[in-house]
Structure 1
Amino acid sequence: MAYAVHHRTAVLDDLEVFYREAGNPRAPAVVLLHGFPTSSHMFRHLIPALSDHYRVIAPDHIGFGQSAMPGLDEFPYTFNALTEITSELLDHLGVDRFAMYVHDYGAPIGWRLALRDPQRVTAIVTQNGNAYTDGFVKPFWEGLFAYARTPGPETEAPVRRALTAEVTRWQYLNGVADPTLVSPDNWVHDQALLDRPGNDEIQLKLFRDYPTNVDLYPAVHQYFRESRVPLLAVWGANDEIFGPDGARAFQRDLPEAEVHLVESGHFALESHFDVITQHIRDFLGRVIS
C-alpha cells in the first residue's frame, strides 16, 4: 500500500527547510538527496513507490526548491553547510539510522553524513552521484574547476551557461534515447527557481566550493573499505556529466557493490523510473532488515 505524500516545512537555525515525507514513521528510513539544479521534485514519483515498506524523506537543500534561499551574507553555501542542515533535519525528525539515495549534489552531502557517523547509514543507492574522479566527463567539468581555481569574469562566463534554460533542458535530455519520455515540466520547474533574483550568485558560490568534494574522496573511499556499506549504483550510462566509469569505480573499494547501467542520461529516473525503482526495491529488500 502506497502512503500519501506529505509536504512539510521544518524551521532549523531560523531557516525554513521544505521536505516531502511518506510511509510508516516506524518503518526503516530512506533519505532522498537531490542534485543540481533540481529539488525533491525529482522524487515525486519515487516517494510513493517506496512508501509501502519505508519511511521516505526527501528534503530541498537550502537555496533550492521550496526551502529558504537566504543571501550570501546570511548563509555560507558550502557543501559542509548543506550537510549540517540535512543532519539537523534528520535529528529533528528522529531519524537515527537511514538508507540514502544520492544524486549529483546529493552525493557529496551524503558522503559527509556517512563520514560524520558511519553507523548511521544502513545502505546507499547512488544514481549518477560520484565518489570518484573516474566518472567526470571533461568537457563539462573543465570550466567549473577553472572557475573554482581562479574566479573572475573570464572563468565565470562559461559556468554561467549552466544556469540557463538551454543547459537545464540539456541536463534532462542528454543521453535519453526517447526524449518524449521526459516531461518538460522538469526543466521549466527547475529553471523558474534558478531564475529567482540572487539564486545565480548562490549557485556560483557552490560551484566554487565543489572541489572540496573531490578533496573528500580519499576519506570516502576509506569509509567504503572499512564499513563495507551495501551500495547500489544505478546509472544513466549516457550521462555527459558523470559517466559510467563513475558507477563502476565503486567496486574498487566495495567489491560487492551492485552496478546497473541504464540507457539514459543524468536524470535517468525520468526515463527509466520503473527499472530503477525495481532495482532499488530489490536491493533494499535484501540489505535492510
Structure 2
Amino acid sequence: MANSEQKDLRVGTLNWVYRELIPDTPNNKPPVVMLHGLVCQSYSWRDVMPALGEYGFRSIAPDWIGHGSSSKPDIRQFDYKQETYIQALSDYLDALELDRFSLVVQGFLGVTGLLYAAQNPDKIERLIILNTPLPPTADLPFRVKMMGWPFVGDMMTQDPLLVDRTLEGAGPYQVADEDLDIYRRPFLKSSDVGRALMWTIRAMKVPQITEQIAQGFADWQPPTLVAWGQSDPWLSAEGAKDFANGLANGDYVGLDQVGHYAQEDWAEKVSEAIVPFLRQQDML
C-alpha cells in the first residue's frame, strides 16, 4: 500500500503544503480532497488516507493557508475572510487541475469548503461533512472566540500548548505526545502561525456563514454524508441530523465516542463511514 507524501504547490503568492496519496491500483474514480479545521493540519488525515488508498482512491489533504506548513501571509496581503479563503481554495484546486472530486470537510474551517461546494456543485462528486457548523444556532466555542480577542488573543495564540488544550478539549481522548509534537511544531517555529490563527478567528462570523450555507444548499443535489462525532462538546448532533435530512440526497451517521476532530480521535470509525459512501459510486 502506498504512503502519503508531503508536497508543496505555489499558487500566486501563496505556498500550499499538502499530503497526497496515490494508490498502487487506482480505481478511476474522482480523487478525494480533505480539509481540516481550526488549530489542526493535514496531518490529522494521516490514518484515513491509507484506508481510501486501499480501495483505489487518490486523496489530497492540504494545510490551510495560515495553518501547518502552508503560507502564513500578513493580514495586509491576505485578510483571512471567508471570501478570500474561498478564492484561495479555488485557485489551489484549479492549480491541481481537479475538474471533479469528492470533498470531505471538518471543523470550523470546513465551512469554507461548504461555501466553495455551494458555488461549484458541478465539481463535487460526493460530499462528506464531519463536525462542521451547519445550523444557524452554531457558533465558535467561547475559548476559541477568545483567541480572536485583542490582547488576550495575541497571548493565547502564541502559546504552543493551545494545541493540546484545543485538540484534547474537543473530544474524549488524549492525543499521543508524538502527534502533539507535530501539531505544535508550526507554533514553535514562528509567531506567524499564531497571528494567522488569531486573524482567522477574528474574521470568522459563524452565524452569517451558516446562513450562507443554508441558502447555498437549498437545492443541493450531489450525494452527501454527514458523519458526526457525537462526543463533540461544541456542535450539536441534532443540528447535523436536521441538515442531512433536509438534503435531497443526504444521509447521517453518528460516530459514537468520537469528538469534534473526528479523524484525529478515531480514524478507523471515520474510514468505516466514508469509504463505503464513496464506493457507492459503483452502483450509480
TM-score, length-scaled by structure 1:
0.84
Match of 2:166 in 1: 171
Q: Partners in 2 of 1:137 and 1:111 — Cα distance? A: 17
Contact 2:157–2:195 under 8 Å retained in 1: no
Match of 2:202 in 1: 208
Cα 1:152–1:171 change in 2 (3 A) is: closer
Deviation at residue 142 of structure 1 after TM alignment: 6.3
Q: Which structure dedicates a bigger proportion of its chain to helix?
A: 1
Residue 126 of structure 2, aligned match among 119, 123, 128 = 123
Percent identity of the aligned residues?
A: 22
Match of 2:88 in 1: 85
Residue 234 of structure 1, aligned match among 227, 246, 250 = 227
* Amino acid across the alignment from 2:120: D
Q: Which runs of 5+ in 1 are unaligned?
A: none
Alignment length (residue pairs): 277
Moved more, 103-112 or 57-66: 103-112
Match of 1:268 in 2: 262
SS in 2 for 1:265: coil
Match of 1:12 in 2: 11
Contact 1:123–1:231 under 8 Å retained in 2: yes
SS in 1 for 2:199: helix
Contact 1:162–1:168 under 8 Å retained in 2: no
Match of 1:56 in 2: 59
Verify: 1:257 aligned to 2:251, yes or no.
yes
Cα 1:200–1:177 change in 2 (3 A) is: closer
SS in 2 for 1:36: coil
SS in 2 for 1:225: coil
Moved more, 268-277 or 253-262: 253-262
Q: Which digits, 9 at most, give the CA deviation of each residue in 1:129-170, with x for residues without a partner?
A: 1222344476446657xx6xxx644xxx26854664444213
Residue 214 of structure 2, aligned match among 203, 214, 221 = 221
SS in 2 for 1:264: coil
SS in 1 for 2:2: coil
* Amino acid across the alignment from 2:13: D
Contact 2:101–2:126 under 8 Å retained in 1: yes
Q: Partners in 2 of 1:56 and 1:75 — Cα distance? A: 27
Contact 1:100–1:121 under 8 Å retained in 2: yes
Q: Partners in 1 of 2:157 and 2:242 — Cα distance? A: 26
Residue 193 of structure 1, aligned match among 152, 169, 186 = 186
